[in-house]
Structure 1
Amino acid sequence: MASSPWPRANPPAVVVTAAEMQAIEGQVFESGMPVAALMEKVAGLIAGWIRVAYPPATYPRVGVLVGPGHNGGDALVVARELCFRGYQVRICSPFSRHKPLTTDHLRFAQHLAIPVGQTLAALGDCDLLIDGLFGFGLERPLTGDLAHLVEAVNADPTPVVSIDLPSGLDTDTGAMLGSALRATHTLCLGLWKRAFCQDAALRYLGQAHLIDFGITEDAIAAGLGPKPWVQRLTAAIALDRLPLPRRPDAHKYRVGHLLLVAGSRQYAGAALLAGLGARASGVGMVTLAVPESLRLMVVAQLPEALVVGCPESPTGAIASLPADLDLNRYDAIALGPGLSKAASAPLEAALASPSPLLLDADGLNLLADRNPINTLASRPGPTLLTPHRGEFKRLFPTILGDTADAGAAAQAAAAQSQAVVLLKGACTAIAAPDGQLWYGPPSTPALARGGSGDVLTGLTGGLLAQHQAMAPKPGTEAVLNAALAGTWWHARAGTLAAAERTQLGVDPTQLAHHLAPALAQELAP
């Protein structure tokens, strides 16, 4: 059955390459949608967005950059519609030849007496620029006069709205092709392009928005083939992965028990930050295993936790877990923040347990000293890895290059290790062993601080324990649910904290304190 046409409360979250988008558009046109009709529909939606974001009373003078293809055609229809709505529109098309449909719209714009020139100077002083030079599928670098034009736009403070992609970006990698335009807003058409999920593209995209023009699920399936499809993590998807609602008769033993193994004398704060994240997750019980010298300090900060003091090495690392600590009784184990590389014994015990296991920080570094792929593939329980790029390279040295797509790298690592891989970064990627791939939601550079990842470990570990308590047996689905919900929730809290405290004011403790308000904001009716 085809999905509902536009408008939709929850537009598609599918992420596509340039080739995949071409195949899907081909299905749309084969189903009977004329190219000209789709251009009118899409441009009408773009013009409507612009009228709201940049009203004519405040931004009356609009310059439109027009390319030779259908992206230029979209821009010309937008120019026409804005002209009809009272904007003072001027057009710059630095090309002598255009696709036939774009040529028709350029003629109509001239018929309407909209000024058209071939240089940027023809636009005069503008309050807003619309970038319709190139959309998805650009392969050749921008050079010569085109590169100079882009550089001149980038040097101007006038806000820029790019149609589909900022001109000059590779659709799949987000890399700059010679020169690239820096947008204030980018209106991605139909489905998210892979560039929107790449660190390399972030400085050019500005604020990204999806213009959903009603591609049906049938067209997507015909273009992409069988699932799993690559998806972007949206609020609707993440909220559906939270362990909510709880049963009316819930009590602490039914909503998860997390064992958090963290901390050393050198990195005492990491245990506290992970504990704060676990507290915010809503998990029913937290047992926090720390070196004995940290026990009283942790109890004072996290009085609700069951704090276990462990034998420690001369350097202050956990030498071993207490003999009476039964790892099989916990719904989930999270291990690694602040542990130090001297704490190999706790990792050995956790790897042998059938409980779902989250490994972060020094848990990952210790794992890297073993044979990670064979070790993880033979574990008796499911595993979640949460590395940043440096840790990932130590675990999987042959997979991730300096400029590689995090999503493809996470997929390869998940397939080899049979673990769920949460590769952290400005654009986080989450991959499951069966090939599912999710790109994290928009986040904030405010999270680029030591300790933010410790909070994520505790939060995601707490969610994992709750999901596992609700599941009949250990499984990858609970791990994936926790990874998706935790990633989204962490990003939302960071964004909320940055809005209140600026990007410089979001320390990890503040991040943890904003977790509950961020979720409450999303769940409010």
Structure 2
Amino acid sequence: MLQPPSPIYPVAGIRAIEALVTPGAQPTLMERAGRASAEEAVRLTQDRSGPILIACGPGNNGGDGFVMARRLLQAGRNVTVAFADDPAALPPDAAAAFAAWRAAGGETVSDFPAAPAGGWALVVDAIFGIGLKRPVEGRYATWVSALNAQDVPRLAIDVPSGLDADTGCVLGTIFRATATLTFIALKPGLLTLDGPDHAGVVNVHRLDIEAAARLPPQGLQVRPAMIVPFLRPRRQNTHKGTYGDVGIIGGAPGMTGAALLAGRAALKLGSGRVLVGLVDDDAPAVDCGQPELMLKRPERVVEQATVLALGPGLGTSALAVSLVERAAASDKPLVLDADALNLLAAAPHLRPLVMARAAPTLITPHPGEAGRLLGSDTASVQADRVAAALALARRFHAEVVLKGSGSVLATPDGRWFINNSGHPGMATGGMGDVLTGLIASLLAQGWPAEPALLAAVHLHGAAADRLAREGIGPIGLTATEVAEASRGVFNGWMVKAARPR
């Protein structure tokens, strides 16, 4: 069975869900979180000896740590708790958790302790939680650095200290977890920008709360199950015309390979025909590596294709501008990538053409391209990737994927998704061209714009993940290999979707 999507909530959404928990409900949310954390610690240390170190902070995240420590102590585990603040200044629930820890016989140390002779079995970050909005500095920065220096499993409670739970930005010094146990639901900061590099393996404990029943999810993590309704076996009575004509336009001098990569990806994902319009007048008449591609003049491709994808190696010539104009004015689904996006940002007269389109428009910017489209810069986009993707979707009335670590997908009506398939080996030339071809192929086969984008983005990363499991990459992974692997992964989804449930 294909894995269902997971709900994502920003901090405000999590707080709203917490507020809906019946007042006085037992056990309290802090008790539930501390118990879940203790169980996770036991799981992580089942084959490790030695004491567990829990570093507790001055807020409710520290309170979760005190409950965790008490539970572990009661289970007979050796626990050291580091806490350097005034217990009287703790929030009420955390103060009660601290008192219960002391009543159970627990003690705290105010200085970061030296590791025992045999080392710690586990170190736990319960310093700052999802409410952190200022840089981690001073004593706690020193503590976080000391926790990071321990060559043992490192567990973060809810989010790693120093991570903005909404954006994935690093706030000062940040804990580098090997595992994170987050509560109620996923937070966007765990999944995008710097979150994946610091959260490690993320597990969600719902704390006996069905979040989606209390508040509709504000985001979703992309999973193949989201596109199951479109994974239908092909009828026997079909022909190549049934599966559409993809038109790829690009390939300026020196960049012919970009357009060919996109075309090859579209072909391997099942398009009936793929037409490639190369802007370079000296381009080859045939792709010897994939002779099924139909190489034509770009103007002819605009006329003949049922779906258009512009940008891979397009360049910024006057011809490139005219091709974007013609494609934007057409009534065909349109994918804009790379140089097509740069032209859209640089040529003001193109924007109204795109904004006014009735046919689906899909754009695939990386952060630099997104900054240019928004009239800002890369840093501003990366400071809030979800907000940037939503702004692009509204501005251009387009389906958007903001590429990067934890790609963010957004729709014109304000919904958003985060995709976490893929790995750093994909940071090589041509990967974006392959993604463009995958998107265009699904559109040509009749998929609506949103599921086509969701499926293609997830498939793109899932293909790289499969290759990594087979020992291909992450270092040295090529776009051609990902295009090849996408076919196998997609067919595997088709088989799973066809099984009786």
For residues 332 and 421 of structure 1, the distance between their equivalents in structure 2, rounded to whole angstroms, comes to 17
Q: Distance in 2 between matches of 1:255 and 1:43?
A: 54
Tell whether 2:214 aligns with 1:219: yes
Matching residue within 20, 26, 31 for 2:13: 20
Kept in 2, the 8 Å contact 1:255–1:466? The answer is: yes
3-state DSSP class of the match of 2:372?
Answer: helix
Change (3 A) 1:141 1:271: closer
**Is the 1:243–1:467 Cα contact (8 Å) retained in structure 2?**
no
Q: Is the 8 A contact 1:243 1:466 kept in 2?
A: no
Deviations 1:87-125 (A, max 9, x none): 432222222213343344444444554553222216633
Q: CA deviation at 1:29?
A: 3.3
Partner of 1:233: 222
Question: Which residue number in structure 1 is paired with residue 343 of structure 2?
Answer: 366
- The residue type equivalent to 1:38 in the other structure is L
Q: What amino acid sits opposite 1:72 in the alignment?
A: G
Residues 373, 122 of structure 1: CA spacing in aligned structure 2 closer, same or farther, 3 A cutoff? same
The residue that corresponds to 1:79 in the other structure is 69
Q: Percent identity, aligned pairs only?
A: 32
Q: 1:334 to 1:169 in 2, by over 3 A?
A: same
**Is the Cα contact below 8 Å between 1:358 and 1:383 reproduced in 2?**
yes
Q: Of 291, 312, 322, which residue of structure 2 is paired with 1:337?
A: 312
TM-score (norm 1): 0.83
1:303 positional shift: 2.8
- How far off its partner does 1:408 sit? 0.9
- Mapped partners of 2:290, 2:5: distance in 1: 41
Aligned to 1:314: none
1:37-436 correspondence runs (5 A): 37-52=28-43, 54-83=44-73, 87-97=77-87, 98-114=90-106, 116-121=108-113, 124=116, 125-213=119-207, 214-221=209-216, 229-237=218-226, 239-240=227-228, 242-247=230-235, 249-290=237-278, 291=280, 293-298=282-287, 300-305=288-293, 307-310=294-297, 320-322=298-300, 327=303, 330-342=305-317, 343-344=319-320, 345-371=322-348, 372-398=350-376, 401=380, 403-436=382-415
Name the CA distance, whole Å, in 2 between partners of 1:11 and 1:73: 32
How far off its partner does 1:262 sit?
Answer: 2.8
- How far did residue 457 of structure 1 move? 0.6
Unaligned runs of 5+ in 1: 1-8, 311-319, 469-477
Query: Is the alpha carbon distance of 1:134 and 1:304 closer, same or farther for their aligned partners in structure 2, counting shifts above 3 Å?
Result: same
Cα separation, 1, equivalents of 2:130 and 2:224: 26
Q: 2:432 aligns with which of 429, 436, 453?
A: 453
What residue identity is the alignment partner of 1:152?
Answer: A
Whether contact under 8 Å (1:165, 1:205) holds in the other structure is: yes
The answer to which of 55-64 and 265-274 deviates more is 55-64
1:508 partnered with 2:500: no
Q: Report deviation, 1:177.
A: 3.0
Deviations 1:180-211 (A, max 9, x none): 21211122211222322441434322233333
**Is the CA contact (8 Å cut-off) linking 2:30 and 2:63 kept in structure 1?**
yes
Displacement of 1:247 in angstroms is 4.2
* Residues 217, 393 of structure 1: alpha-carbon distance in 2 compared, 3 angstrom cutoff: closer
Contact kept? 1:11, 1:212, Cα under 8 Å: no
Q: Which amino acid aligns with 1:89?
A: V
Offset at 1:425? 1.5
**CA 1:11 to 1:355, structure 2 compared with 1: closer, same or farther past 3 Å?**
closer
Are the counterparts in 1 of residues 258 and 430 from structure 2 also a CA contact under 8 Å?
Answer: yes
Structure 1 stretches (4+) deviating beyond 6 angstroms?
Answer: 9-12
For each residue in 1:219-278, what CA deviation from the matched residue of structure 2 results, as whole angstroms up to 9, or x when unmatched?
114xx8xxxx333323432x4375434445444322332122232331121122112321
Distance of 1:75 and 1:297 partners within structure 2: 64
Q: Is contact 2:368-2:377 (8 Å) kept?
A: no
Contact kept, 8 Å, 2:325 with 2:353, in 1: the verdict is no
SS of residue matched to 2:296: strand
Which amino acid in 1 is paired with 2:255?
Y
Q: Which amino acid aligns with 2:149?
A: A
Whether the aligned pair in 2 keeps the contact of 1:241 and 1:484 (CA below 8 Å) is no
CA offset digits 1:335-389 (Å, max 9, x no partner): 2211222242332321221010001112222333322431212234221111112
Alignment partners' CA distance in 1, 2:428 and 2:487: 20
Q: Distance in 1 between matches of 2:483 and 2:219?
A: 29
Query: What TM-score results when the alignment is normalised by the length of structure 2?
Result: 0.87
Matched residue type, 1:479: A
Q: Aligned partners of 1:503 and 1:12: how far apart in 2? A: 25
| 1:22-73 CA-partner distances (Å, limit 9, x unpaired) | 111101235x744x44334334433444444x24233543211223333223
* CA positional deviation for 1:442: 4.4
CA distance in 2, matches of 1:420, 1:517: 26
Conserved in 2, the CA contact under 8 Å of 1:498 and 1:505?
no
What amino acid is the match of 2:480?
T
CA shift at 1:399, angstroms?
Answer: 7.7
Give SS of 1:276's match: helix
Shift of 1:144: 2.2
2: CA distance, partners of 1:171 / 1:457: 30
Contact 1:410 1:423 in 2 (8 A): yes
Distance (Å, rounded) in 2 between the aligned partners of 1:364 and 1:264? 15
Are residues 1:482 and 2:476 paired? no
Cα RMSD for the two superposed structures: 2.8
Alpha carbons 1:271, 1:338 under 8 Å: kept: yes
* Residue 419 of structure 2: aligned partner: 440
Alignment-mate amino acid for residue 340 of structure 1: G
Q: Is the 8 A contact 1:332 1:357 kept in 2?
A: yes
Q: Which amino acid aligns with 1:434?
A: D
Contact persistence 2:56–2:65 (CA under 8 A): yes
AA at the equivalent of 2:337: D
- Residues in 1 aligned to 2:76 and 2:305: alpha-carbon distance in whole angstroms: 65
Distance 1:60 1:284, change over 3 A: farther
Aligned to 1:5: none
Q: SS of the residue aligned with 2:445?
A: helix
**Which residue of 2 is the match for residue 6 of structure 1?**
none
